[in-house]
């Protein structure tokens, strides 16, 4: 891939998809297809595919198929992470999922977005901002995390939430848009 295009994809600058980019992406989509079509009894095979597909796949982690990803190579998963079925990784730039994270079914982590200017959207322009999920976070079913968001350590995001901005550590947050409801120190 062109180094200028690669830099733009990682720094939040506007860029345009190229045939070269599509060709590279196809390699990762083939790995994703293999993962999603491996028998449940072949867990070692699945894990080996995830080590090829993802930037990192930590010890003791598990992803329940089906998994969707724009790339895979831009996603790093720590140790002892559990992701239920239907995880979608729009990983056009870095997604970092740290250790001991629990991810409910049908969660979307989205780094890619498009400009508001109509003429740029007609040209298929895009820009990306990283998503970081810190240690011991629980993302409830159907959560959507938008580009540029960091969710702080130990926080819980309620089911169906649309996370549009950073969430601090040690809180319960939910809603659309997602808002902090209480500190976790306040619960038993």
* Residues annotated as catalytic (active site), given as ranges: 114
Pair 8, 15: CB distance under 8 Å: yes
Pair 134, 114: CB distance under 8 Å: no
Q: Which two tokens stand for residue 164?
A: 């549009």
Backbone torsions φ then ψ of 122, nearest 5 degrees: -60, -25
Residue of 46, 55, 2 whose CA lies nearest to 24: 2
Beta bridge partners of 160: none
Name the maximum alpha-carbon separation found in the chain.
54
């Amino acid at each position: 891939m062109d180094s200028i295009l690669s830099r733009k994809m990682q720094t939040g600058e506007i860029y345009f998809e190229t045939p070269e980019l599509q060709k590279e992406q196809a390699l990762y989509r083939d790995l994703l297809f293999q993962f999603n079509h491996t028998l449940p009894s072949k867990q070692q095979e699945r894990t080996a595919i995830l080590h090829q597909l993802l930037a990192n796949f930590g010890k003791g982690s598990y992803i329940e198929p089906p998994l969707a990803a724009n790339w895979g190579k831009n996603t790093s998963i720590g140790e002892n992470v559990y992701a239920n079925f239907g995880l979608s990784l729009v990983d056009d730039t870095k997604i970092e999922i740290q250790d001991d994270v629990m991810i409910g079914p049908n969660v979307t982590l989205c780094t890619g977005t498009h400009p508001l200017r109509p003429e740029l959207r007609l040209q298929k322009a895009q820009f990306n901002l990283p998503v970081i999920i810190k240690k011991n976070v629980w993302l409830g079913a159907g959560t959507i995390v938008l580009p540029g968001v960091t969710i702080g350590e130990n926080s819980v995001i309620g089911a169906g939430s649309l996370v549009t901005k950073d969430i601090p550590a040690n809180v319960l947050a939910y809603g659309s848009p997602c808002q902090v409801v209480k500190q976790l120190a306040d619960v038993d």
